[in-house]
Amino acid sequence: MSKGPGLFFDIGKKAKDLLTRDYISDQKFSVSTYSDAGVVLTSTAVKKGGLSTGDIAALYKYRNVTFDVKVDTESNISTIVTLNGIVPSTKTIASVKIPDHNSGKLEVQYFHDHATFTTAVALNQNPIVDVSATLGTPSFAFGAEAGYDTTSGNFTKYSAGISVTKPDSYASIILGDKGDSIRASYVHHLDQLKKSAAVGEITRRFSTNDNTFTVGGAFAVDHLTVVKAKLNNNGKLGALLQHEIVPKSLLTIAGEIDTKALDRIPKFGLSLALKP
């Protein structure tokens, strides 16, 4: 794939990952094993309140094709097949979830040095078509996306965004929810390896005049340990500690506190991911 502006999905993703990725309030345990044939098997168990769920996933790569199959405790089977380069500079993704046969979806992504395009179609009798396009360079990108319901003839969504990327910072603005919300974010890296960073994000919803402002960051204590924290104007404080016990084996301890209701019991989560 060429080095272009990236997909529309990538606009604002750096800030989103810093503020949401690995934050958990549930108990989670996962183990991954790698076979000589290139198959990755991952078993995951999650306990949320008094409910326990689990799944087993298998990932296999053969040349330009990737197979990803997941089976959960509710007898759902999710399958994703990704094909790279059937047509030059393209990626094709087909997915389906059984027994919900109407969940089938086909997506094609096209990459160019100065543009990317995606088209996704639901494989059912009443398909919804999603399209997106991004123009620019790795340093500056402008994009838009839209979803169209072929049955009702209505747009299900439309959004537009812009991003600016520099060696030590990243900024983005996204107008989403059919023009009802705007989200601006800024990420500043604090080291050359980009393991430590500060992030700020503000979201305004015009229909309700609600503003949400969130600040956070990640700090690499050493090459094995990362600490992250976030706080928004509603008083939600989140923090996590992630430590690599052995290579590819991560222990994550995360918690969330409502500072405006300290009499409530804080939520804490524990995640252990072992990847031999």
What CATH code is carried by the domain that includes residue 15? 2.40.160.10
Is 1 among the domain residues?
no
- How is residue 204 annotated by DSSP? E
Is 185 among the domain residues?
yes
Q: What is the average pLDDT across 161-182?
A: 96
Q: Given this model, what pLDDT does residue 262 score?
A: 64
Report how many domains make up the chain: 1
Is 249 among the domain residues?
yes
Q: Is the pLDDT of residue 198 over 90?
A: yes
Q: What is the average pLDDT across 225-244?
A: 93
In the chain the beta strands, taken as DSSP E runs, fall at 27-34, 39-48, 51-62, 65-72, 77-84, 90-98, 105-111, 115-122, 128-136, 140-149, 154-166, 169-176, 181-189, 197-205, 210-220, 225-232, 236-246, 249-258, 267-274
Q: What is the average pLDDT across 260-274?
A: 64
Q: Determine contact, residues 58/71, Cβ cutoff 8 Å.
A: no
Q: What is the average pLDDT across 11-22?
A: 94
Q: Is the pLDDT of residue 190 over 90?
A: yes
Is 2 among the domain residues?
no
Q: How far is CA 67 from CA 35, 60, 64, 83, 251, in A?
A: 15, 5, 10, 9, 27
Ranking 54-58, 62-66, 176-180, 266-270 by mean pLDDT, the lowest is 266-270
Q: Given this model, what pLDDT does residue 194 score?
A: 87
Q: What is the average pLDDT across 30-38?
A: 81
Alpha carbon distance 20, 184 (integer Å)? 16
Total-model pTM: 0.86
Ranking 2-6, 100-104, 192-196 by mean pLDDT, the lowest is 2-6
Q: Which two tokens stand for residue 165?
A: 């990327």
pLDDT, one tens digit per residue, over 64-93 is: 999 999 999 989 999 999 999 888 899 999
Is 3 among the domain residues?
no
What region, left, alpha or beta, does residue 207 occupy, with left being phi > 0 and alpha being psi -120 to 50 degrees? Answer: alpha
**Closest-CA residue to 204 (of 179, 170, 229):** 179
Based on the number of CB atoms within 10 Å of its own CB, is 246 exposed (0-12), middle (13-18) or buried (19 or more)? exposed
Q: Which two tokens stand for residue 225?
A: 């340990």
Residue 86's domain spans which residues?
Answer: 8-274
Q: How far is CA 207 from CA 134, 178, 198, 234, in A?
A: 27, 11, 30, 19
Q: Given this model, what pLDDT does residue 253 score?
A: 87
Alpha carbon distance 51, 276 (integer Å)? 28
Q: Is the pLDDT of residue 1 over 60?
A: no
Higher pLDDT, 25 or 44: 44
Mean of the per-residue pLDDT values of the chain: 90
pLDDT, one tens digit per residue, over 38-64 is: 888 999 888 877 788 999 999 999 889
Is 102 among the domain residues?
yes
* Cα 263–chain centre separation: 32
Residue with tokens 């402002």: 213
Is 269 among the domain residues?
yes
